[in-house]
Homo-oligomer: A and B are copies of this chain.
Amino acid sequence: MTEDSPEISPLAPEAFPELPAIDGVGLADCEAGVRHRGVTDVLLAKLAEGTTVAGVFTKSKTAAAPIDWCRSILPLGTAGALVVNSGNANAFTGRQGADAVREMAIAAAAACDCTADHVYIAQTGVIGEPIDAGKITRVLPDLAERLGSDWAGAARAIMTTDTYPKGCARTADIGGVEVNIAGIAKGSGMIAPDMATMLGFIFTDAAIPADILEIMLTRSVDKSFNSITVDSDTSTSDTVLAFATGAAGHPTVAELGEAGLAGFRTALDEVCLDLAQQIVRDGEGASKFVAITVAGAEDVIAARRIGLAIANSPLVKTAIAGEDANWGRIVMAVGKSGEAADRDKLAIAIGGIAVAEAGAVVPGYDEAPVAEHMQGREIEIFVDVGVGDGEATVWTCDLTHRYIEINADYRT
């Protein structure tokens, strides 16, 4: 992948952000030729002894081999290394796939001086092709010799059809000590030609027990990675992992409710949300970034489901691509979500302008300012379904010709 691909998403941020080195985390990447030549495709992160870990994985019933592996070792709560490859998702590869993961873990453990059950593995790329683990295991010793903090390189090594690398960092204060959080992620679409996977990796030097980290990560992911959608498809390999090295030196956090943890939780939320939104902005063929807020639902979960029903509707997504303020399709999508909604109290605003209230179009509705909003790159939709206090925001992109090109025409 070249630095400035001509096809870079029009919604991409200007540049990869500055990410600080995280004490206790060493990074290295290289070209291992997993599938293509000329692209970096393996990332190794070595983690200081005692690093705690938390993880959230795809709900797919056909999850890939590395997902099974990570789930099996997660109860140990500590991690020594992370290996990620792009080019092959090692999904639907049977026993051979499970063997390949074990081989990679053993090789990384040897290179990083830990045990295999402390090696986390994530893989992204083509589904259903047997993977040659040797291509990856043979580069690990060299990677372990040249660890550094090249976040942009790390973010680039995990890309598949992403058009730009994705990273985000924040700082927080725990007990008077500054701690750092740095994260990288990859999308995109749902995903592209033969590809699977949304991956997110978050590293911090804070000292947080695994069980508390797990609760915080799950909540942050619900409001971020689990609140985005490009095309409704669920990957076999979606993985978000958080690692806390404890090197910042503050007393280890004892409880989730600690006052001193509030700033960290906000920072973690922000990193997850920023990365998740970067994934949407790199959605396949995306030309518009869409925020959909649903209020008045029975609860937060219902609000998110209604939001995702709107965000996943091909009719809503194509209307947005066509810059059409087609609120009738929003009504339809609310109706199909299956969640409680009061048709006769439904209110809709687009770009902050009231379009419908009390179950009907607003009197004297003037489409002109709404149409102008639809011409922008950032679209805001608000829906109140009139039955309760549940509120949630989800993010998506539009459905364009380019999506079809990427996913149907790529063989030509």
CB distance from A411 to the nearest CB of B (A): 6
- Please pick, from B62, B312, B333, B409, the residue contacting A335 in the complex, using a CB distance under 8 A: B62
Q: Please tell me if A212 contacts chain B, counting CB pairs below 8 Å.
A: no
Listed by A's residue number, 25 A-B pairs whose Cβ atoms lie within 8 Å are A60-B332, A61-B334, A61-B337, A61-B338, A62-B332, A62-B335, A62-B341, A62-B343, A62-B346, A63-B335, A92-B331, A92-B346, A92-B356, A92-B359, A96-B360, A128-B331, A196-B332, A232-B313, A232-B314, A236-B335, A318-B404, A318-B407, A322-B408, A324-B411, A401-B408
Taking CB as reference atom, which chain B residue is nearest A58?
B335
Query: Please, which residues of chain B bring their CB within 8 A of the CB of A194?
Result: 326, 328-329
The complex places the Cα of A73 from the Cα of B314 at a distance, in Å, of 34
Q: Please tell me if A278 contacts chain B, counting CB pairs below 8 Å.
A: no
The complex places the Cα of A231 from the Cα of B314 at a distance, in Å, of 7
The complex places the Cα of A344 from the Cα of B94 at a distance, in Å, of 6
| Interface pair A407/B314, CB less than 8 Å apart | yes
Contact count band on A: 35 or more
Segment 270-321 of A: residues with Cβ below 8 Å from B: 312-315, 318-319, 321
Query: Please, which residues of chain B bring their CB within 8 A of the CB of A321?
Result: 404, 408
Taking CB as reference atom, which chain B residue is nearest A358?
B94
Q: Please tell me if A190 contacts chain B, counting CB pairs below 8 Å.
A: yes
**Other A-B pairs beyond A92-B328, A232-B312, 5, CB < 8 Å:** A61-B335, A62-B332, A62-B335, A93-B360, A234-B336
Query: Please, which residues of chain B bring their CB within 8 A of the CB of A52?
Result: none
The complex places the Cα of A359 from the Cα of B127 at a distance, in Å, of 12
Q: Mark contacts of A164-206 with chain B using CB atoms, 8 A cut-off: 1 yes-contact digit, 0 otherwise.
A: 0000000000000000000000000010001010000000000
Q: With contacts A313-B233, A322-B408, A408-B318 known, is A332 near B127, CB below 8 A?
A: yes
| Interface pair A360/B127, CB less than 8 Å apart | no
Query: Please, which residues of chain B bring their CB within 8 A of the CB of A349?
Result: none
The complex places the Cα of A288 from the Cα of B404 at a distance, in Å, of 15
Query: Please, which residues of chain B bring their CB within 8 A of the CB of A126?
Result: 328
Q: With contacts A313-B233, A343-B62, A360-B96 known, is A331 near B91, CB below 8 A?
A: yes
Taking CB as reference atom, which chain B residue is nearest A405?
B401
Q: Mark contacts of A16-31 with chain B using CB atoms, 8 A cut-off: 1 yes-contact digit, 0 otherwise.
A: 0000000000000000
Query: Please, which residues of chain B bring their CB within 8 A of the CB of A335?
Result: 58, 60-63, 234, 236
CB distance from A139 to the nearest CB of B (A): 26
Query: Please, which residues of chain B bring their CB within 8 A of the CB of A137?
Result: none
Segment 357-390 of A: residues with Cβ below 8 Å from B: 358-361
Q: Please tell me if A235 contacts chain B, counting CB pairs below 8 Å.
A: yes
Q: Please tell me if A86 contacts chain B, counting CB pairs below 8 Å.
A: no
CB distance from A168 to the nearest CB of B (A): 27
Q: Please tell me if A245 contacts chain B, counting CB pairs below 8 Å.
A: no
- Please pick, from B63, B314, B319, B356, the residue contacting A343 in the complex, using a CB distance under 8 A: B63
Q: Please tell me if A399 contacts chain B, counting CB pairs below 8 Å.
A: yes
